[in-house]
Amino acid sequence: MAVGILSRIAGAIAVFAVMIAAAGDVRAEGGLTVHSVLRGAFSPAPESATVQPGYSIPRNLGPSFREKVTFETKARPGSVIVDTQTKNLYYITGANRALRYRIGVGREGFGWTGIVSVGRKAEWPDWRPPAEMRQRDPSLPEYVPPGPRNPLGARAIYLHKNGADTLYRIHGTNDPTTIGGNVSSGCFRMTNTDVLDLYQRMRVGAQVIVR
């Protein structure tokens, strides 16, 4: 009987292997391949997606809207320009060259412009809503841990002015449907996939021009 059970298990494994091979790189929702979905179901999350112990992370980090574009500017490479009208963020890579990302911006009454800098960066940040935000919406919690329910998503880039925190961030989101809209209280949202890319490019101290 034991031999028969082992034989059936071996047969099932063989069929499963054939299904994977036949699937090739068929794309699943969010740009994942069948192979990557299967690996995600049985493997630990990649190191780049590590979050604090005890918290889960979203498997689908959302689409990427990153594009290489020609962009006329005198800003130095490594700087960021946020165009709140077109809802695009530009990371300057060279003379009149940039990476363009689609973003979500502040809703009516929460837009702003100015020149700030990157004060610090955080991977899978927690979130403590500012007091004035909680006054506007008393239902907000005092603290949200890292993970799929955190509105800052996978990464946060903290914007400072004259050494002080502005309380504005460039951050990810676990709801990519908000990208391209007027959706925030003044922060700039990116898909988690795009903020992971921008995060590793930007350096503390880099200039951010919001216009």
User: Are residues 23 and 75 both part of a single domain?
Assistant: no
24 alpha-carbon distance from chain centroid: 27
Per-residue pLDDT reduced to its tens digit, 43-69:
233 334 444 444 555 567 899 999 999
148 alpha-carbon distance from chain centroid: 11
Structure-block tokens of residue 123 = 């991977």
pTM for this model (two decimals): 0.72
Confidence of residue 4 (pLDDT cuts 50, 70, 90): low
Per-residue pLDDT reduced to its tens digit, 128-175:
988 989 999 999 999 999 887 889 999 999 999 999 999 999 999 989
User: Are residues 34 and 113 both part of a single domain?
Assistant: no
Whether the per-residue pLDDT at 110 is higher than 50: the answer is yes
185's CB contacts (< 8 A; 6+ apart) are 106, 107, 110, 133
Whether 160 sits among the annotated catalytic residues: the reply is no
What's the CATH code of the domain at 130? Answer: 2.40.440.10
Q: How many domains in the chain?
A: 2
Question: Given 156, 179, 187, 202, which residue is catalytic?
Answer: 187
Is 131 part of any domain? yes
Is 62 part of any domain? no
Is there a contact between 49 and 57 (Cβ–Cβ < 8 Å)? yes
User: Are residues 12 and 111 both part of a single domain?
Assistant: no
Residues above pLDDT 70, as percent of the chain = 72
Q: How far apart are CA 138 and CA 136, in angstroms?
A: 6
Question: Given 102, 155, 169, 171, which residue is catalytic?
Answer: 171
User: Are residues 38 and 72 both part of a single domain?
Assistant: no
User: Are residues 37 and 83 both part of a single domain?
Assistant: no
Domain of residue 158 covers 67-210
User: Are residues 11 and 74 both part of a single domain?
Assistant: no
Whether 180 sits among the annotated catalytic residues: the reply is no
Q: What angle do CA 153, 159, 161 make, to 5 degrees?
A: 165
Q: How far apart are CA 122 and CA 196, in angstroms?
A: 11
